[in-house]
Structure 1
Amino acid sequence: MSDNFKALEGWASGLLGNLDAKALRGMNKRLATELRKRQQAHIAANQNPDGTPYAPRLPQMRKKGGRIKRKLFTKLRTARHLKTQSNANGATVHFSPSANRLARVHQFGLVDTVNAKRGIRHKYAARELLGFSQSDDELIAEAILSQISK
């Protein structure tokens, strides 16, 4: 995927060099918002950006019985935690500092404490929360072409 992105970056840099800063800021803001919507959608569907499903939840080790009715990462995918930032030089989608630790643990499959009281540690399965898919590359290319044609 990074090869596609490098090719897209090389192609776009020459075309975007002629635009003024105001037009670039506007395009990057729209692009960041749309990319956040796409990231939220694939997190809601419990899928990695490439379409493969997330690793299933582990059985709960708690005293309460019953199943967990909520999907993974319902709060993490809200606009409160999934932020956008843009300027004339680029656009980013990132997690807020309060959600960053949890997102990093699941993004890379790191070891973290499950229960702070008991100190139980567990290695989580990697669930790619943020990432580019082929359709995201196409969205970026379309946004650039749309901006240039104005």
Structure 2
Amino acid sequence: MSDDLYALEAWAGALLAKLAPAQRRAINHKVAIDLRRSQAQRIKAQQGPDGAAYPARKKRKEFKGKNGRIKRQKAAMFAKMRTAKHLKVKATGDQIEVGFFGWVARVAHVHQFGRHDRVSKKGPAFKYPERPLLGLREPDRTLIRESLLRHIAKN
């Protein structure tokens, strides 16, 4: 897998070396946005980079309210984290980064690697199951190649 990434880096580097630094940065930013979109769609589908489904959430006790009351819609896992506000892109002329930064990075790290964390500030500690949020798979590499070629062709 790492050999495949080095091959992609060498191929993209040769194409981008012919461009001016401002053009490289702009193209890298557009490719990073395309990659962020694909990562967010995969997180929404609750699949890891290998295509496996995330482990199910722990079952909650049902709320028994008054009849006729509208119940709150079930919140999707990682709904806010996959938004552009939290899933950030950083692009320079040389590299692309798609990831979580700040306090969201700590929460993402706990889920990515299945670590222990507190449920609330003074609440009990819980071992979260491993739910890989970010990662590259073959369709993502293909997306990077196609996006890079599409944006270079426009310039």
Distance 1:115 1:86 in 2: 34
Report sequence identity in percent: 40
The amino acid of 1:47's aligned partner reads Q
Please, what is the CA RMSD of the aligned residues? 2.2
Distance in 2, matches of 1:22 and 1:11, equals: 19
Q: 1:70 aligns with which of 47, 67, 75?
A: 75
Residues of 1 paired with 2:39 and 2:95: CA distance?
Answer: 17
What's the TM-score, normalizing by structure 2? 0.83
2:78 is matched by which residue type in structure 1? F
5+ unaligned residues in a row in structure 2: which ranges? 65-71
> How many equivalent pairs are there?
147
Q: Which residue does the alignment assign to 1:110?
A: 115
2:26 is aligned with 1:21: no
Contact 1:16–1:144 (Cα < 8 Å) also in 2:
no
- Matched position secondary structure for 2:89: strand
Distance 1:25 1:42 in 2: 26
Structure 1 length-normalised TM: 0.85
Contact 2:88–2:98 (CA<8 Å) still a contact in 1?
Answer: yes
The letter of the residue matching 1:111 is H
Unaligned runs of 5+ in 1: none
- CA offsets 1:79-107 (integer angstroms, 9 cap, x no match): 11111111211221121312111111001
Of residues 79, 86, 98, the one that matches 1:81 is 86
Find the structure with the greater CA-based Rg. 2
Structure 2 counterpart of 1:138, from 128, 139, 142: 142
Please state whether the residue corresponding to 2:119 is helix, strand or coil: strand
